[in-house]
Amino acid sequence: MKILVPIKRVVDYNVKVRVKSDQSGVETANVKMSMNPFDEIAVEEAIRLQEAGTAEEIIVVSIGVSQCQETIRTALAMGADRGILVETDQQVQPLAVAKILKHLVEKESPQLVIAGKQAIDDDNNQTGQMLAALLGWSQGTFASRLQLADGRLKLTREVDGGLETVSLSMPSVVTTDLRLNEPRFVKLPNIMKAKKKPLEVIPMDSLGLDTASRVKILKVEDPPHRAAGIKVASVEELIDKLKNEAKVI
């Protein structure tokens, strides 16, 4: 079985995000970038399936600027077999990403796509579902456990009432939740080996796909500062403020 894993280069989760002075977006110049944490979980799960003898090849795909090659190399150092970068300088929105991934799925013929449930920069949580719809494949979202048996995928996902287990036909698109696994630490020898693994760069314009933006960002601004708390003298005053100021009762 071949597995395709989309990954995204984002601002590192430890970095405090700053809004640009013109409010057109967030500052990324001279900011530490890394692989989206949910995508890292997806890569780890694919590697575990390969180590279990279920998967034969893992392909990681990223869409973006040339620096995304560093993110792909990280995934290759974790254990992926080869990488593909669809290179573009423009911001690519979820529908365009799904169209590009559909094109690559048709080219590479994987039986399983494992993606992070969302990216920590835009938090859209759309690409996996859109890709499954475009391909006409089964889909399982927010996976906290994966099992392959008898040609079907058994997926456990967290829901409001507890855990839900579903059985999916193959091929399938799966999106990973935080508790699916703990990504491995990349060792230095593996980083060196990753430099020799194949990495294909494809200009996005050469694909001939409609990747025009459907959503326009008007303005980005910091959330309002939280007001300081106050003390009340009595229960009656507390109830009055909850009722007339906070309007929660």
pLDDT, tens digit, 9 for 90 and up, residues 56-109: 999 999 999 999 999 999 999 999 999 999 999 988 999 999 999 999 999 999
* Residue 5 confidence (pLDDT): 97
- pLDDT higher than 90, residue 213: no
Is 249 a residue whose pLDDT tops 90? no
Q: Structurally, what CATH architecture does the domain formed by 2-244 represent?
A: 3-Layer(aba) Sandwich (3.40)
Can you tell me the mean pLDDT for 193-219? 92
- Percent of the chain exceeding pLDDT 70 equals 100
pLDDT for position 196: 93
Sequence-ordered alpha helix ranges (H) in 31-126 = 37-51, 68-78, 94-108
CA distance 221 to 125: 21
Token pair recorded at residue 156: 């456990």
Tell me the residue ranges of DSSP E strands in 79-178.
82-87, 112-116, 138-149, 152-159, 162-169, 172-176
Question: What global pTM score does this model have?
Answer: 0.86
Categorize the per-residue pLDDT at 145 as very low, low, confident or very high, splitting at 50, 70 and 90: very high
pLDDT at 180: 92
Q: Supply the pLDDT for residue 198.
A: 95
CA 23 to mean position of chain CA atoms? 25
**Residue 25 DSSP class:** S
Q: What is the pLDDT of residue 144?
A: 93
Question: In the chain, what are the domain boundaries?
Answer: 2-244
pLDDT at 175: 95
pLDDT of res. 203: 95
